[in-house]
Amino acid sequence: MKYVYQPAANKDAYTLLLLHGTGGDEQDMLPLAPALTRNFHVLSLRGNVLEHGMPRFFRRLGMGVFDEPDVHFRTHEMVHFLKELSAQEGFDLQKLVAAGYSNGANIAGAVLMLYPELLAGAMLFRPMQPLHGIEDPFETNRQQPVFMSSGKMDSTVDPAATAAYATLLSANGFNVSSHNINTGHNLTQQDIDLAAGWVKENFR
């Protein structure tokens, strides 16, 4: 996978894993990093799937309809890549905090469901539940914090589905902080401010 890695001064720092939305790339989310935290390593990935020339992290069958077998495949592929990259770049895989927007939030959510012990935390901006009826129940004992923000006027994501998704994550051991803000699908300064406060509270 194509990526950008920016090491922090402290080699033992957490790593902020940036995951773009449809049509973004490994540069897309980088400006968000200093607004969220200035003390983390930064790792930004580009999705391996193209939809009409636009990078994504997994295929979809239609708007809001995911190709779930591909979600499985691409999630395993990404986690395998992260494990190799942690050895190569020298960051601690147990101190990985994802920040994903839209499609990026959904691949991060798939990691929470398929590898529930992997991430130290996750910020999910405009998420949708990526998998339904997965073969095995998932559960974490780490009680990792998860930040979720949805838009009240988002025509892409059903607020009731987001609430059910938050409940599902909470029921499986994640410490979910969910926000429903007065906007659409676009990312706003309020999202960033809320997430930055969440980072400060959970990763001192």
Active-site residue set: 102, 154, 185
CA angle 63, 22, 81 (to 5 degrees): 115
Name every residue whose Cβ is closer than 8 Å to that of residue 203 and which is 6 or more positions away in sequence: 14, 37, 40, 97, 120, 121
Euclidean distance between CA atoms 107 and 109, whole angstroms? 5
**CA-CA distance, 118 to 26, in Å (whole number)?**
21
**Helix/strand/coil (H/E/C) assignment for every residue in 112-173:** HHHCCCCCCEEEEECCCCCCCCCCCCCCCCCCCEEEEEEECCCCCCCHHHHHHHHHHHHHCC
